[in-house]
Structure 1
Amino acid sequence: MSVLTPDEVLAKLKNVHKRGNSLVAECPVCHDDHHLYITRENDKLLLFCQKCKAKYPAILKALDVQPPTSSPVQTSSQKPKDHGKQIEEIRYTYRAPSGKPEYQKIRRKFEDGHKVFSFCYTDENGQVQYKKPEGCDNLYNLDRMAASDPGTLLYIVEGEKCADAMTARGFLATSTNTGSQKNLKLSETDLQTLHKFKRKIVIPDNDDPGMEYAKAWERMGAKIFPWREVWPDIQKKQDVADYFQQGGDPEKIRNWKYPAAEFSEEYFAAMDKADMIKPGLFAGIQALDDPLERQQIESLAAFRAKELGISREFQKNYKAWRVSQAQANKNSRNQTKFSGQPFALACGDWIADDDGVKKLEATGNGDFRYQWASPIPILPTEILLNQESNTEKIRLSYYKPDGWRSCVVPREIAANSSKIIALANMGVEVNSDNAKSLVKYLAGCVALNPAVLPRTKSTSHMGWIGEEFVPYTEEITLDSVDEYGTLIDSVTQKGNLEGWLAAVKPLLDNIYLRLAVAASLAAPLIKPLGALSFAFHLWGGTGAGKTVGLMVAASVWGNPAPGKLLQSMNNTVNFTTGCAATLGNLPFFGDELQTIKSKFDNYDQFIHQITAEVSRGRMDQTGRMQLQKSWKTAFLFTGEEPISQTTSGGGVENRLIEIECAHQVVANGPETVQAITNQYGTLGPAYIAMLKQKKQDGIDLRAVFNDYHKRLLQMETTEKQAMAMGIMMTADEFFRMYFAPELPALKVEEVMPFLKTTQEVDTAERAYNLVIDLVAQNNENFFYSRDDDYGRPAYHHAPMREVWGKIQDNHVWIIKRVLENLLAENGLSFRAVSKKWAAQKKLVPTKQGKYAGRMSISGINGYFVDLIR
């Protein structure tokens, strides 16, 4: 190292200039051009870099300078040799087997060819240390070696430049971090990684130190590459990088195979006892690819061992070497090496490359064989943590001829050799033979890569998760894509918002379509407003454009085509509730509701199930209660008949907004369908973004809703009817405010014809009217008489067959059992309505306050109910 005075040190620095009262210059360590601060005190020089924290000694070392003497006067014998300007700096990164950077080796070259080498690393405090870390690994490309198959041919060269030149041409190459050495200094990690390679070739520089370096590796079982056979004109000190730079053919190196022809009878005849137990011999035998040839050579070796009287020792050493190879492979930390993989994962002793996933294991006799986990590339690429159930799913990515695919499955499937076979349906190459190995490989990848494998917040449904709305957020992802992929993929965008508004706004003069779009936009408001799910139904004859109207409402959120967001109702109720649970807070769209009627006597049970907001409870095979799915949304249907019937309960009527389409919903159906086929899914994300923005704009959605709700209740509709329509009007107001201000506001008077009054929804009232109608229809089953003005019987009738009771004036005495059966046949209950009938003076209770009393009519005894008609 040169010795320079302070002036000479300053002369070596670059970009020296004044800043205030100080001098600054380019730091020779980190090469920042203005953070090296210089202070001079007489014959002393103080140097410090504020960028990399390099101090005086490190800076002098980087300049190839020794600390200056106290005297500025130097004799001619002390003047250092000037190597000229630095012309090159290269940094080589040394990595751990996992791929994590550990330190850098810095190579600087000057004009006269002089080279300076140094090391640096960043410690745990973020400080740059200009040395190697304690206990560091010494081999270059250690991560590539760890990820490679043990059968790969390993090339050992001198220096990182040569290793990079080999790597660039497809070779697996390494080097020690100090170049040529007589005595190799290798860490335990280095040795363990090296030990797994059966074939190693050292390509030294063409000089004496290079040959000593090659012999050191030969003692570890490597073969020395014969330069003269490949490059007859090689000059002294030239290396493999020079070979490539001068146009050398990589194939000549590749075609020089690991020597095996030397294993002849003459070869073994020349060997002594020590030669017969060297690792190089064992490595050469195992390197033979042909099993028959390898067995023949093993026999020749056994014959020679017997001649030397060391048969037992030879076999013991040979077996010990094979066991050590298997152990080295078992303890190795390979990495996945798939083409096109999103990232590399540590995979333990599994060899994961484009041929698939396999493991080299030792058999009982010391031989090796491959245990296959998968014949195709496969790896876990994401862990999804469900934010509501706190359960995990795993995303598996795997390669097929058409490219990379992925699937998301519960962790229990990927961890169970019996269940993982189900993934064969998705294209994963798994069967009963490799299932256990695949489970072990995947479990190992997850366990070994906690910092690499992404962990993502997930949910099984769309809609609100806290303040986020799925799928319009990057914070949370869906983990139910494989079960409801078509439905989820339909919530997508095509075209732009301006195009959709231009196509749809002219249609909103139609009150039916306006309310359908409002019902669609109302779905995301139900949860934040604490309201109940409801159904919206457009019904009427064919040709009214109901389906097109429903498609327009669906185009708010995504693809409105049948089979996409628009579902046929020719499905099971479980399918509908499963879709609703996946949509979460997005609306469900069902066309032609009458197709489901064959499964029910009426629609009441179906409406109750979908508006219950929770799936049916079930037990799993272990007797534990399964997690029930839930939703809060709006259901939009079309049909040819109304959903509610005379016998429908108030619960159904209350949860239903029904509109009979007396005129067309959409006048020009084909043109509208064409427009929304090219423009859809753009209003939804903008609408949700505005909902999240509402606080900043000073808009209180609850206040708007409460105002509409109050005004609707004043029109004598029911609480739940007012709630459903109030949410729709709130959604319409919000849409109009931000996206269509030219539209007139909806008025309560406009929507009231579509709401039921309190009396219409009153179950007791509808039950009473039903019974009175049935009595009139079946009057032949009653005794009845009429007196004249003087109280004398003027007319009398007696039932010919079945007796139901007696009619006299405005009283109907009906047998209680008959009345209960009539109501039950129509889905009603006498106990549910009797009290209200009595309060409304439609039923005369007994003196004891009972709603039925024992009496005799024309000699017929029984319990009768006295109704007033």
Structure 2
Amino acid sequence: MADKDMIAFDFSKLTEEMLLRSDEPYAYIYSLRHDEFYQEQELYAMSEYVRKKFGFRRFMTMYRSYESSMKLVHARIVGMTEFHGQPLQMSLIGWVADDAGVYRETNYGREYACKHPIMPVERIRNIDTGSEKIRLAYRLPGAGWSTQLVVDKSVIASPQQIIKLADYGVSVTTETARPLIAFLQDVEAHNYELIPTIMSASRMGWVNGQFLPYDAEIMFDGEASFKALYDSIGSEGDYEEWLTVVRDARRAHPAVRAVLATSFASVLIEPLGILPSFTHIWSTESATGKTVIAMLGASIWGDPDGGRYMQTFNTTEVASEKTCAFLNSMPLVMDELQVSNSKQFNVYKIAQGVGRARGTKDGGIEKTSSWRLTCITTGESPLVSSSDGAGAVARVVDIEIDGVVFDVDSGQRITGVIRQNYGHAGKKFVQAVKDVGLEELKERYAERLSDVRKNLDVQDKQIMTAAALLVADEIADEFIFQDDMGRLGMNDLAPYLKTREQVSIEQRAYDLLIDWIASNANKFSDDYPYERYGVIEGNVVYIIRKIFNEIMQNEGFTHQSVASAMAKKDMIIVNHASDHRRNDIGKRINGHLCRCIALRVDNEEDIVWL
């Protein structure tokens, strides 16, 4: 319907000169474009009037040419967004953006990009990958600008992707997808400096020389499943209250000092170039304070409650990898090993610091995740067993709690404080590491390595772990605790570090076999009338290979690895005459030639029945 205030054109003033030399009549018709019905009425009326009065039959053609030229002019006109209550006012070229929506004039008529206000209001750049996302603000009928959506930039560059915004209420169809892409791309390009860019991160810790989240204002840009963990990182309450309680707890037991040092040491793993390690606190008794100790370690970085910074073992292997990748340089703290399915938590894989390569839907390969951190775990049993590989055993400092470290009352007092006051020390420690500097940090680490190697007979990877914990404790005491009575000493760690023999798979398998032979002594005797397991001659025990393989498999060892490791240490007799050295040899038992593992026994008294 025509606007009542619109001034109608006086047809009687029309002249042939005006039709041929002026744009006045054509401009009048074009000015009616916002009311298409009235415009068509006036266009037809004027066309008929000049045809009858002047015999001018080209008015329609002349007007269409004028209309096309004006649309090209409008396409180059700079305007502004005119949305009511808009977060930003942005410049436009060729677009109209008001409360009626977003559209532009084309040679084929008005083309809508969206039937409601919409605009990009924030650019989000991942500090780690450099990838960008865009925050779209849009206002639906009856709603305000609170409706916002963060999407990958690729979404607003693809018609197939952008129509998925319809699931979130955006007015977009297959027909308007391309115009909406054009509008969003144009408005961002013309307002690049106006649209704020904020940095984001999908992992914490050391990223491109910065330690996140302390060194930069960032927003979380990771998987939704890690939002709670991300939110748990940060400070709350009073630092001095936390310090008083933790300084006192630090004096209580070597396990507390070791866990606090492990938590701080996570920051050192990457700059020192060493692999992840575990400190595992365990006890078969309940109410010994294991969980309280783990919470103390977690409180350095954030909210120590379970389900917040502290995680549980009730997870999958993939989830464990992704959690490590997210924490990156911050410690992984996990409580209650006994709720875990052992197949879902692989110590060795986590200690390697690299996730498994996985395929993508389009046939490619996902970026392999990695991490450099320490792990604090608790449970009712050791984290690794005698059958685990040497690589896993060497990465774990198993600390058994003998007795009660924190009883119920002291545990409640400690957790009551650290649940309200936490997260300050982590930031202070990171700054302390920077103040110390990389060169001095490496010098301190080298000194501790030398000290441990000289004074303790332990496996090399255990030496590296111990040295890192000692350096971390040293820096923490210097810059945070300032309490010599609570320092972690080499003697605190010594009872829990493993020797080379304890770590080696062949020695652990040997100890197992000696016990097994003693408990099955009759089955190695020539007088035994039933199934034989082998034969003993002097200090060599010949174990039928099939039986040996079954024992190893039942105990969780890989029989090939054990036999190979034993052969290298000359613990078994091998067949050197063969072109391909075998780890088993032929031996006649009850007149039958059998393939056997020929185990050398260090001391014949190890075989009790002899």
- What is the rounded CA distance, in whole Å, between the counterparts of 2:155 and 2:183 in structure 1? 14
Q: Are 2:564 and 1:860 aligned?
A: no
User: What is the CA-CA distance between 1:258 and the residue it aligns to?
Assistant: 8.2
Matched letter for residue 689 of structure 1: Q
Matched letter for residue 814 of structure 1: I
1:465 alignment partner in structure 2: 207
1:572 alignment partner in structure 2: 316
Secondary structure of residue in 2 paired with 1:657: strand
1:583 alignment partner in structure 2: 327
2:385 alignment partner in structure 1: 645
- What is the rounded CA distance, in whole Å, between the counterparts of 1:815 and 1:673 in structure 2? 56
User: What is the CA-CA distance between 1:803 and the residue it aligns to?
Assistant: 3.2
1:260 alignment partner in structure 2: 6
The structure-2 alpha-carbon separation of the partners of 1:383 and 1:346, relative to structure 1 and needing over 3 Å to count, comes to farther
Equivalent pair of 1:518/1:729 in contact (CA under 8 Å): yes
Q: Are 2:132 and 1:393 aligned?
A: yes
| TM-score normalised per structure 2 | 0.85
The structure-2 alpha-carbon separation of the partners of 1:481 and 1:287, relative to structure 1 and needing over 3 Å to count, comes to farther
- What is the rounded CA distance, in whole Å, between the counterparts of 1:756 and 1:346 in structure 2? 68
Matched letter for residue 256 of structure 2: L
Which of 443, 457, 462 is matched with 1:716 structurally? 457
Q: Which structure's relative contact order is higher, taking Cα pairs within 8 Å and 6+ residues apart?
A: 2
- What is the rounded CA distance, in whole Å, between the counterparts of 1:649 and 1:797 in structure 2? 35
The structure-2 alpha-carbon separation of the partners of 1:438 and 1:380, relative to structure 1 and needing over 3 Å to count, comes to farther
Which of 753, 757, 768 is matched with 2:495 structurally? 753
1:670 alignment partner in structure 2: 412
User: What is the CA-CA distance between 1:523 and the residue it aligns to?
Assistant: 0.5
2:281 alignment partner in structure 1: 538
Which of 778, 793, 797 is matched with 2:528 structurally? 797
2:240 alignment partner in structure 1: 498
User: What is the CA-CA distance between 1:624 and the residue it aligns to?
Assistant: 3.8
User: What is the CA-CA distance between 1:521 and the residue it aligns to?
Assistant: 0.8
The structure-2 alpha-carbon separation of the partners of 1:618 and 1:321, relative to structure 1 and needing over 3 Å to count, comes to same
Matched letter for residue 719 of structure 1: D
1:776 alignment partner in structure 2: 518
1:606-640 per-residue CA deviation (whole Å, 9 max, x = no partner) reads 11221221121133355443321211011222223
Secondary structure of residue in 1 paired with 2:58: helix
Equivalent pair of 1:355/1:377 in contact (CA under 8 Å): no
Equivalent pair of 1:354/1:377 in contact (CA under 8 Å): no
Equivalent pair of 2:397/2:496 in contact (CA under 8 Å): yes
1:389-436 per-residue CA deviation (whole Å, 9 max, x = no partner) reads 5x4212324246465576654433332222345556677665655443
1:515 alignment partner in structure 2: 258
Matched letter for residue 861 of structure 1: L
- What is the rounded CA distance, in whole Å, between the counterparts of 2:166 and 2:518 in structure 1? 66
Secondary structure of residue in 1 paired with 2:548: helix
The structure-2 alpha-carbon separation of the partners of 1:313 and 1:846, relative to structure 1 and needing over 3 Å to count, comes to closer
User: What is the CA-CA distance between 1:527 and the residue it aligns to?
Assistant: 0.6
User: What is the CA-CA distance between 1:716 and the residue it aligns to?
Assistant: 1.2
User: What is the CA-CA distance between 1:480 and the residue it aligns to?
Assistant: 3.4
2:357 alignment partner in structure 1: 617
Matched letter for residue 503 of structure 2: V
The structure-2 alpha-carbon separation of the partners of 1:840 and 1:579, relative to structure 1 and needing over 3 Å to count, comes to closer
Secondary structure of residue in 1 paired with 2:388: coil
2:606 alignment partner in structure 1: none
- What is the rounded CA distance, in whole Å, between the counterparts of 2:518 and 2:459 in structure 1? 30
The structure-2 alpha-carbon separation of the partners of 1:717 and 1:423, relative to structure 1 and needing over 3 Å to count, comes to farther
Which of 442, 460, 463 is matched with 2:184 structurally? 442
Equivalences for 1:205-354 in 2 at 5 Å? 259-260=5-6, 262=8, 267-269=10-12, 271-273=14-16, 279-285=23-29, 286-287=31-32, 289-309=34-54, 312-337=57-82, 344-353=89-98
Matched letter for residue 535 of structure 2: K
Equivalent pair of 1:527/1:585 in contact (CA under 8 Å): yes
User: What is the CA-CA distance between 1:751 and the residue it aligns to?
Assistant: 1.7
The structure-2 alpha-carbon separation of the partners of 1:544 and 1:304, relative to structure 1 and needing over 3 Å to count, comes to farther
The structure-2 alpha-carbon separation of the partners of 1:580 and 1:422, relative to structure 1 and needing over 3 Å to count, comes to farther
- What is the rounded CA distance, in whole Å, between the counterparts of 2:112 and 2:127 in structure 1? 34
User: What is the CA-CA distance between 1:354 and the residue it aligns to?
Assistant: 5.3
1:703 alignment partner in structure 2: 443
User: What is the CA-CA distance between 1:645 and the residue it aligns to?
Assistant: 1.1
Which of 109, 113, 119 is matched with 1:378 structurally? 119
Which of these two proteins has the greater Rg computed from alpha carbons?
1
| TM-score normalised per structure 1 | 0.61
Secondary structure of residue in 2 paired with 1:585: coil
Matched letter for residue 563 of structure 1: G
- What is the rounded CA distance, in whole Å, between the counterparts of 1:749 and 1:662 in structure 2? 17
Structure 2 segments unaligned to the other structure (5+ residues): 602-610
Which of 706, 717, 733 is matched with 2:474 structurally? 733
Matched letter for residue 585 of structure 2: G
2:366 alignment partner in structure 1: 626
Equivalent pair of 2:242/2:422 in contact (CA under 8 Å): yes
Equivalent pair of 2:86/2:145 in contact (CA under 8 Å): no
- What is the rounded CA distance, in whole Å, between the counterparts of 1:288 and 1:829 in structure 2? 82
- What is the rounded CA distance, in whole Å, between the counterparts of 2:81 and 2:226 in structure 1? 31
Secondary structure of residue in 1 paired with 2:341: helix
User: What is the CA-CA distance between 1:522 and the residue it aligns to?
Assistant: 0.8
- What is the rounded CA distance, in whole Å, between the counterparts of 1:339 and 1:481 in structure 2? 34
The structure-2 alpha-carbon separation of the partners of 1:438 and 1:666, relative to structure 1 and needing over 3 Å to count, comes to farther
- What is the rounded CA distance, in whole Å, between the counterparts of 1:863 and 1:747 in structure 2? 51
Secondary structure of residue in 1 paired with 2:448: helix
2:608 alignment partner in structure 1: none
2:605 alignment partner in structure 1: none
User: What is the CA-CA distance between 1:459 and the residue it aligns to?
Assistant: 5.0
Equivalent pair of 1:491/1:681 in contact (CA under 8 Å): yes
Equivalent pair of 2:199/2:219 in contact (CA under 8 Å): yes
Secondary structure of residue in 1 paired with 2:397: strand
- What is the rounded CA distance, in whole Å, between the counterparts of 1:552 and 1:310 in structure 2? 97
Secondary structure of residue in 2 paired with 1:678: coil
Equivalent pair of 1:381/1:396 in contact (CA under 8 Å): yes
1:344-393 per-residue CA deviation (whole Å, 9 max, x = no partner) reads 5444333344555x2223364xxx33412473422153262655x5x421
- What is the rounded CA distance, in whole Å, between the counterparts of 2:315 and 2:215 in structure 1? 31
- What is the rounded CA distance, in whole Å, between the counterparts of 2:464 and 2:516 in structure 1? 34
User: What is the CA-CA distance between 1:313 and the residue it aligns to?
Assistant: 2.5
1:142 alignment partner in structure 2: none
Secondary structure of residue in 2 paired with 1:260: coil
- What is the rounded CA distance, in whole Å, between the counterparts of 1:719 and 1:405 in structure 2? 57
Equivalent pair of 2:133/2:151 in contact (CA under 8 Å): yes
1:152 alignment partner in structure 2: none
User: What is the CA-CA distance between 1:438 and the residue it aligns to?
Assistant: 3.1
Secondary structure of residue in 2 paired with 1:527: helix
Matched letter for residue 597 of structure 2: V
The structure-2 alpha-carbon separation of the partners of 1:420 and 1:299, relative to structure 1 and needing over 3 Å to count, comes to closer
User: What is the CA-CA distance between 1:270 and the residue it aligns to?
Assistant: 5.1
Matched letter for residue 596 of structure 2: F
Matched letter for residue 819 of structure 1: F
2:434 alignment partner in structure 1: 692
- What is the rounded CA distance, in whole Å, between the counterparts of 1:309 and 1:553 in structure 2? 95
User: What is the CA-CA distance between 1:555 and the residue it aligns to?
Assistant: 1.9
Equivalences for 1:89-104 in 2 at 5 Å? none
Secondary structure of residue in 2 paired with 1:620: coil
